[in-house]
Amino acid sequence: MCGNNMSAPLPAIVPAARKATAAVIFLHGLGDTGHGWAEAMAGIRTPHVKYICPHAPVMPVSLNMNMAMPSWFDIIGLSPDAEEDETGIKKAAESIKALIDQEVKNGIPSHRIVLGGFSQGGALSLYTALTTHQKLAGVVALSCWLPLRNSLSKSVIGSNKEIAILQCHGEADPLVPLIFGCLTVEKLKTMLNPNNITFKTYARMPHSASAMFVTTFFF
Ligand SMILES: *[C@@H]1O[C@H](CO)[C@@H](O)[C@H](O)[C@H]1NC(C)=O
Ligand SMILES: *[C@@H]1O[C@H](CO)[C@@H](O)[C@H](O)[C@H]1NC(C)=O
């Protein structure tokens, strides 16, 4: 089809005030864009950190009656045993790896890059970190789950066996219930060094998150 170009617009970027020696790549949730997150990151700006908030491509989402919206991959159901868009998840992870490569070319070593995200974006950040050979500084996974968890084990982990993970979840999350966060952290502890995983839950917090953690925990 002529002009059918699925690639999303360029990421929203908050440049470092000084020379960037580190970066945060943060992936938004379903139906959102990177703009709001970039604004939030601008509020916590750290002088040597560049913040990159890419936008997901627009695609039909099965869960939402095939309505087209920004989505990193298709979501078929929200229960832990729901079918998953394996092809879409892997393709999305490749696009994030390409984004990391681009920053490495820009002069920021991958071990100074934190990958993170909220909800579907957090899920993608976890999957990407576990399957990439790029050594990362850490992952901040907010209100999310681990995609394709049955295909993941110690043996498939790339360069990030000792990666620092900060996982946060609202105890009153009606969309991605806390139990998914708990299942995720348990699974992560079987694959990674448990000493490197921090799981924080927040009483009365719904499906929402704060950008504040993203920098202070890692840099
Ligand atoms: C889609 O657009 C991007 C950015 O404008 C461009 O780099 C890419 O080559 C295009 N892809 C196709 C298949 O036309
Ligand atoms: C992971 O934990 C080990 C201790 O078990 C520590 O030596 C290492 O520095 C930690 N890695 C990170 C990235 O914090």
Ligand nearest to the CA of 2: 1
DSSP H or E run through 70: strand 67-70
β-pairing verdict for 22-27 and 49-53: parallel
| Position 194 confidence tier, pLDDT thresholds 50, 70, 90 | very high
- In terms of CATH architecture, what is 12-215? 3-Layer(aba) Sandwich (3.40)
pLDDT value at position 29? 95
- Exactly one of 71, 119, 125, 143 is catalytic; which is it? 119
Ligand nearest to the CA of 136: 2
For the ranges 57-71, 123-137, 173-187, 204-218, which has the lowest average pLDDT?
204-218
For residue 2, is pLDDT > 60? no
Q: Which of 10, 84, 36, 46 is nearest to 208 (CA)?
A: 36
H-only helix segments in 44-166: 86-105, 120-131
What is the distance between the alpha carbons of residues 129 and 137, in angstroms, rounded to a whole number? Answer: 10
Rounded mean pLDDT of 88-114?
Answer: 97
- Residue 45 CA to ligand 1 centre (angstroms): 31
**Which numbered atom of ligand 2 lies nearest the CA of 137?**
13
101 is catalytic: no
What is the distance between the alpha carbons of residues 84 and 93, in angstroms, rounded to a whole number? Answer: 14
169 is catalytic: no
Q: Does the pTM of the predicted model rise above 0.85?
A: yes
Rounded mean pLDDT of 10-39?
Answer: 94
35 is catalytic: no
- Residue 8 CA to ligand 1 centre (angstroms): 9
Question: Which sequence spans correspond to the domains of the chain?
Answer: 12-215
For residue 82, is pLDDT > 70? yes
| Position 1 confidence tier, pLDDT thresholds 50, 70, 90 | very low
